[in-house]
Structure 1
Amino acid sequence: MHEQEEQTPARFTRRNVLTASASAAAALGAAGLPVLTTGTPAFATGGDHGHGGGLRAEPLIPSGNRGIILYSVRDRIGAAPDSTGVPYGFERVLARLAEIGYKEVEFAGYTQNTAILGRQITPKEIRKILDDNGLVANGTHTQINPGTFEQQMDIAQELGMKHIGTGGDPTNSAYKADWDAAADIWNELGRRAKARGLRLYTHNHHEAYDFLLDAGPLDPAGKPTRSSGLRRLEYFFDQADPRYVFFEMDIYWAYVARFKHTTYTDWRGNQQTDLFDPILTVAPRTARFPLFHAKDGDRNPSVPDGHDMVPLGDGDINFQQFFQTIGAPHLHHANWEHDNASGGTAIPAQSLNFAASSYTNMSELTIYRR
Structure 2
Amino acid sequence: MSAHEEEIEITNALRRGLGLNRRQFLAATTGVTAVAMAGAGPLASTAQAASGRHPRGTLVPPSKRGIILYTVRDAISRDPLSTDLPSGFQRVFEALSRIGYRQVEFAGYGQHANSKGGANLESVEGARMLRRWLDHYGLEAEGNHGFIPGSWPLTTADLDRFKLHLEIAHTLGLGHVGTGNDPTNSAYKDDWNIAAEKWNHLGSIASRAGIKLYTHNHDAAYNFLLDSGPLDALGKPTRSSGIRKLEYFLKITDRRDVYLEMDIFWAHVARFKFSTFTAPDGSTRTDVFDPLAVVRANARRFPLFHAKDGKSNPATANGYDMVPFGTGDIDYAKFFRGAGPKGSFNPMYEQDNAPGGTANPGQSLQYADLSYDNMAALRG
2:166 aligned partner: 153
Matched, 1:124 2:128: yes
Picking from 273, 278, 281, the partner of 2:294 is 281
Q: 2:268 & 2:82 partners in 1: Cα distance?
A: 40
Deviations 1:114-152 (A, max 9, x none): 122483342221111101101010000012124121011
2:147 aligned partner: 143
Q: 1:224 & 1:200 partners in 2: Cα distance?
A: 30
SS of the residue aligned with 1:216?
Answer: strand
Deviations 1:72-98 (A, max 9, x none): 000000000145431111111010001
SS of the residue aligned with 1:149?
Answer: helix
CA contact 2:111–2:118 (8 Å) conserved in 1:
no
Report how far residue 188 of structure 1 moved.
Answer: 1.1
Q: 2:199 & 2:65 partners in 1: Cα distance?
A: 27
CA contact 1:127–1:159 (8 Å) conserved in 2:
yes
1:30 aligned partner: none
Q: How does 1:197-236 map to 2 (within 5 A)?
A: 197-236=210-249
CA contact 2:307–2:350 (8 Å) conserved in 1:
yes
Q: 2:56 & 2:284 partners in 1: Cα distance?
A: 47
1:74 aligned partner: 73
Q: State the identity as a percent.
A: 51
Picking from 306, 309, 314, the partner of 1:293 is 306
1:331 aligned partner: 344
Report how far residue 297 of structure 1 moved.
Answer: 0.1
Q: 1:258 & 1:109 partners in 2: Cα distance?
A: 29
User: What is the TM-score of this pair, normalised by structure 2?
Assistant: 0.80
Report how far residue 57 of structure 1 moved.
Answer: 5.5
1:106 aligned partner: 105
Q: 1:152 & 1:106 partners in 2: Cα distance?
A: 14
Q: Which amino acid aligns with 2:130?
A: I
1:48 aligned partner: none
Matched, 1:89 2:88: yes
Let me know the Cα RMSD of the aligned residues.
Answer: 1.7
Q: Which amino acid aligns with 1:183?
A: A
- The structure where helix makes up a greater share of residues is 2
Matched, 1:60 2:59: yes
Q: 2:318 & 2:346 partners in 1: Cα distance?
A: 25
Q: Which amino acid aligns with 2:86?
A: P
Q: Which amino acid aligns with 1:111?
A: G
Q: Which amino acid aligns with 1:110?
A: Y
SS of the residue aligned with 1:345?
Answer: helix
Instruction: Give the 3 Å change call, closer, same or farther, for CA 366–141 of structure 1 in structure 2.
Output: same
Q: 1:135 & 1:277 partners in 2: Cα distance?
A: 33
Q: In the comparison of the two structures, how many residue pairs are matched? A: 316
User: What is the TM-score of this pair, normalised by structure 1?
Assistant: 0.83
2:276 aligned partner: 263
Q: Which amino acid aligns with 2:274?
A: H
Q: 2:61 & 2:308 partners in 1: Cα distance?
A: 17
Instruction: Give the 3 Å change call, closer, same or farther, for CA 135–215 of structure 1 in structure 2.
Output: same
Q: Which runs of 5+ in 1 are unaligned?
A: 1-9, 15-55
SS of the residue aligned with 2:110?
Answer: coil
Q: 1:264 & 1:77 partners in 2: Cα distance?
A: 43
Bigger CA drift: 218-227 or 120-129? 120-129
Matched, 1:247 2:246: no
CA contact 2:90–2:116 (8 Å) conserved in 1:
no
Report how far residue 248 of structure 1 moved.
Answer: 0.3
Q: Which runs of 5+ in 2 are unaligned?
A: 1-45
1:354 aligned partner: 367
Matched, 1:320 2:319: no
SS of the residue aligned with 1:58?
Answer: coil
Report how far residue 159 of structure 1 moved.
Answer: 1.1
Picking from 348, 355, 358, the partner of 1:345 is 358
CA contact 2:117–2:129 (8 Å) conserved in 1:
no
Report how far residue 212 of structure 1 moved.
Answer: 0.7
Q: 1:82 & 1:250 partners in 2: Cα distance?
A: 35
Instruction: Give the 3 Å change call, closer, same or farther, for CA 118–214 of structure 1 in structure 2.
Output: closer
Report how far residue 162 of structure 1 moved.
Answer: 0.5
SS of the residue aligned with 2:282?
Answer: coil
Report how far residue 59 of structure 1 moved.
Answer: 1.7
Q: 2:372 & 2:118 partners in 1: Cα distance?
A: 32
CA contact 1:216–1:266 (8 Å) conserved in 2:
no
Q: Which amino acid aligns with 2:79?
A: A
- Report 1 or 2 for greater relative contact order, CA contacts < 8 Å, sequence distance ≥ 6: 1
Q: 1:232 & 1:90 partners in 2: Cα distance?
A: 36
CA contact 2:88–2:116 (8 Å) conserved in 1:
no
Deviations 1:224-259 (A, max 9, x none): 101111100000011010000001000000000000
SS of the residue aligned with 1:334?
Answer: strand
Q: 1:118 & 1:139 partners in 2: Cα distance?
A: 21
Picking from 246, 251, 254, the partner of 1:238 is 251
